[in-house]
Amino acid sequence: MQETLTPPAFSNATSPYSDLVENQRKFFKTGKTKSLAFRKEQLQNLKAGLKKYESKFVQALYEDLHKPEMEAYATELDVSVEEINHVIENLGSWMEPEPVATPLFFQPGRSVTIHEPHGVSVIIGPWNYPIKNLIGPLIGALCAGNTAVIKPSEISPATSKVMSDMLADMFTPEYVTCVEGGVAETTELLKERFDYLLFTGGTEIGRIIYQAAAKHLTPVTLELGGKSPTVVDEKSDLKIATKRIVWAKFLNTGQTCIAPDHIYVHNSKKVEFIALAKKYIGEFWADGQASKDLGRIISDRHFDRISKMITGDVVIGGDTDAATKYISPTVIDNVTPEHPAMQEEIFGPIMPVIGFDSIDEVIGNISSGEKPLALYVFSNSSKTKKRFVNETSSGVVLFNDLIVHAGHAGLPFGGIGNSGIGAYNGKIGFETFSHKKPVMYRSTFGDVAQKYPPYTKGKMSFIRFAI
């Protein structure tokens, strides 16, 4: 009698989102998302959505973060549109099967690898760059031929609402949809089985997300945080180093995952560094609290958390206003490992300065901590640069500048260890959201008789020789 096999249930989870995910899975199975034409058309659609909702996004970013208009365009909207352009231009060649040489033993034969979409993806985002950190991964998901469920952060509610409206306007829900909400909604959503998950947020929440994904063996990319050190050695252009550090530190009021967290400055340059920092802070935000170019802290909780770090040798700033969640650009000198700002990722406008005498000390400190998302080194010594590349580990190492690597579509963006798993950006995003599938074409011509039992010494010698 023939045994009847019952296929395993695809998902045993039920949540308010079961239908939504199921509908996306059905749509994915139609195969419509797979053609180059469809993918390009949908990326154009996404671009059109970003343009159509541009002014609403700018307004929402201001409501949530007091984000300056310039930063809204430069770090959220324009970069996203530019990435879409880059992907549309190159997608055809990325989708081409990649030939792989086929060894003699497998001849006649031909081998390739192809990029196959995973299926239904989920993208969970943070509040600090609430457009870029959702749209960047979404570009990866769509260009790779997946469907996507987007979960913006509830901590930036105005932007979350515009994102939801934009996606509903531009896409059908079985292809791209937005689920708004916080912990409760995300917990329910993650009961569902997804084929790929990309999460951006804090390391501790990343662990929770990873566990939820593990239940379904869902592959993940985790874009997490941490303390990104910056080093200014004695052989660097101090003026440009300080200017760039001040810009990068206080961009988005320090609420940037790849912001320089704390600054190691060679003791021979520390006094000058602080004087220059004071000069540039004064120039950039001359109007202080009235400056339209300075954002605010996202929430009361974060305002309280960051305010507690303003202690010790405060040499610049230190002003706060709880009512408007304002914290002025603040520099603290002579910071020790016990200082409150050194206990966690700062994620605010506080810049601790730590003096050092030898690069060995700094490399030792960096190597003994968790692997950072970014490491920035200002130095003109090729020996020093080589040492940082070889003796430290981080998501990225960038010399003589900060943050700009995130806009380079050819470089992977991601962390290592506590700062993350995997990466995305441009082609890497396409690869992240694809399964690289080997495909081998063999012929039935020319069968190797020696591989079949019964095995004899002669057959074994032949096979071992051939292998």
Cβ closest to ligand NAD, residue 355 vs residue 426: 426
Both structure tokens of 233:
């050695």
- Given a contact cutoff of 8 angstroms between Cβ atoms, the answer to whether 193 and 216 are in contact is yes
Shortest Cβ 123–ligand NAD spacing (Å): 10
| Contact status: 366 vs ligand NAD (CB under 6 A) | no
Q: Could you say which of 246, 373, 416, 428 contacts ligand NAD (CB under 6 A)?
A: 373
Cβ closest to ligand NAD, residue 182 vs residue 364: 182
Which residues, numbered 341-360, are part of the site for ligand NAD (CB under 6 A)? 345, 347
| Beta strand extents in 187-270 (DSSP E only) | 196-200, 220-223, 229-232, 262-266
Shortest Cβ 146–ligand NAD spacing (Å): 19
Identified catalytic residue from 71, 174, 257, 431: 257
Cα–Cα dist 144/40, whole Å: 10
Residues in the chain, total: 467
Cα–Cα dist 161/167, whole Å: 10
Bin 122: left if φ > 0, else alpha if -120 < ψ < 50, else beta: beta
Please indicate whether residue 96 is annotated as part of the active site: no
Please indicate whether residue 223 is annotated as part of the active site: yes
Of 10, 14, 13, 46, nearest in space to 28 by CA = 10
Bridge partners for 115 per DSSP: 436
Cα–Cα dist 274/261, whole Å: 16
| Contact status: 151 vs ligand NAD (CB under 6 A) | yes
Residues whose CB falls within 8 Å of the CB of residue 361, separated by 6 or more in sequence, listed in order: none
Q: Could you say which of 46, 148, 176, 205 contacts ligand NAD (CB under 6 A)?
A: 205
- Given a contact cutoff of 8 angstroms between Cβ atoms, the answer to whether 45 and 84 are in contact is no
| Contact status: 208 vs ligand NAD (CB under 6 A) | yes
Q: Could you say which of 68, 140, 145, 201 contacts ligand NAD (CB under 6 A)?
A: 201
| Contact status: 187 vs ligand NAD (CB under 6 A) | yes
| Contact status: 223 vs ligand NAD (CB under 6 A) | yes
Which residues, numbered 392-421, are part of the site for ligand NAD (CB under 6 A)? 415, 420
- Helix, coil or strand: residue 436: strand
Both structure tokens of 95:
């989708």
| Contact status: 153 vs ligand NAD (CB under 6 A) | yes
Residues whose CB falls within 8 Å of the CB of residue 444, separated by 6 or more in sequence, listed in order: none
Identified catalytic residue from 223, 344, 345, 431: 223
Q: Could you say which of 186, 230, 320, 418 contacts ligand NAD (CB under 6 A)?
A: 186
Shortest Cβ 203–ligand NAD spacing (Å): 6
Shortest Cβ 226–ligand NAD spacing (Å): 7
Cα–Cα dist 455/465, whole Å: 15
Q: For residue 431, what is the DSSP state?
A: H
Shortest Cβ 415–ligand NAD spacing (Å): 6
Q: Could you say which of 31, 108, 182, 282 contacts ligand NAD (CB under 6 A)?
A: 182
Cα–Cα dist 172/28, whole Å: 12
Cβ closest to ligand NAD, residue 182 vs residue 438: 182
Q: Could you say which of 79, 143, 150, 224 contacts ligand NAD (CB under 6 A)?
A: 224
Cα–Cα dist 48/56, whole Å: 14
DSSP percent split of the chain into helix, strand, coil, nearest 5: 45, 20, 35
Which residues, numbered 239-298, are part of the site for ligand NAD (CB under 6 A)? 257
Which residues, numbered 118-137, are part of the site for ligand NAD (CB under 6 A)? 124-129, 133
Q: Return the active site residues.
A: 223, 257
Site of interaction with ligand NAD (CB under 6 A): 124-129, 133, 151, 153-155, 182-183, 186-187, 200-202, 205, 208, 223-225, 257, 345, 347, 373, 415, 420
